[in-house]
Chain A
């Protein structure tokens, strides 16, 4: 949780210096530790159904989860899960009127009620991390433009719904289908602007654990999180987890829509900030990541004593294999906590037997079962996507 510290700024409201004592309004600010700033973010205004959140933007809403939340457990409570909308979000949905159209390369286009979607197949629960593709973008060096997230645009929840493939079966996918595209109720404010629609390859769409979900941690999806239905693609970045799902479209070719063909793309091979022309690929699967949650950057620890560090880790698109605490020329394996499934956060713990002088720039490095491991240096890209460099902090023995 590098550099996430709470500061308070007292704003004095009222005129002049003399007369009556002025009321003091305190506004809480969080310092996200973004190199070069601006780094302070407000914790207000409050949003309906949300607890304390870092308000990156009021409209359309961008709310970041304070790193403290990840100290408390692997599941983010619904009122602390991050929120991200590309376009203005609808603020009311009539359940009886909502329909999910399933069309495109299908045998019989259908328009399903919510009850018909829910009855399309077996009810399935998946514990999975929802993480914005731009999570940690604000920490990029050199800095890049876009939403300046710290590392809190992520959260793990239990999602309940039916399999996407069972919903597709209501219409019948035709031969030659290649991708499945999703659209929600959120539409652009301006004529001709690209709608936020996203597609996934057919083999992903047919997976056992790819859902049309209506519940998050056992509660109906809050509107801010996509009521009444959202797509859940465990292991993939949340850009594909389309909210307020209203259209499912089966494609027979590549998807040339803006948010797939032009945006949310990564360099196909490593680049430097000087590179201008390079091939790109869509961001899809999440890489492994790990975070220290027990100590903040700069925390004081007891010299000569044993020190226990704790945190969370994820394997990304495959189960977590191991987590190591790494320092300058040394590393220590961490003990993993309970396994909530391959796509969930998992807690880790490690004890440094005796604190010595050198706890500068320590970090935790996660690896998953496919051998993907967090890199020592940032795989810089101009959109700040898929950050998974080892996050480091410095502890100060005293």
Chain B
């Protein structure tokens, strides 16, 4: 989806303006961000569903899919960090399946 920005009225007064005149006028602003299609490659279950249910609520799948190839232990560590630091409501039982899925997806990625 291609979203349009709402134009802003903006006024920078010339140097000649007297001291009491505002140097800038602020208008309301709003935007519509593009949709996030949340497309995940095929992969082992229940891992793929666990990723959909636990990870993509907070961020796009590209967050995981663009990472360099790392170990299963690293993926488990990343999932634990999401729970412990970022308070992601992830069921600890899902950590294993999430790591399984990510390891599978990274092993099947084309070289680029």
Contact = CB atoms under 8 A, between A and B. Distances in A.
Interface of A: 31, 34, 36-41, 45-49, 55-61, 89, 91-96, 98, 114-115, 118-119, 123, 138, 143-145, 148, 160, 188-194, 214-215, 218-220, 222-224, 227-228, 258, 262
Contacts, number: 143
Contacts of B112: 31, 37-40
Interface in B81-96: 85-89
Given A58-B35, A98-B26, 15 more contacts: A36-B68, A36-B111, A41-B66, A47-B34, A48-B31, A138-B68, A143-B68, A160-B12, A189-B58, A193-B85, A220-B8, A220-B26, A220-B29, A222-B29, A222-B31
A191 B1 contact: no
A188 B65 contact: no
A262 B81 CA distance: 12
Contacts of B78: 145
Given A40-B112, A190-B89, A45 B30 contact: no
Contacts of A192: 87
B42 interface: no
A193 B34 contact: no
Nearest to B13: A123
B18 interface: no
Contacts of A223: 29-31
Contact of A228 (B2, B26, B57, B63): B26
A136 to B, nearest CB: 14
A118 B33 contact: no
A34 B31 contact: no
Contacts of A215: 10, 12, 24
A31 B74 CA distance: 25
Contacts of B10: 215, 219-220
B103 to A, nearest CB: 14
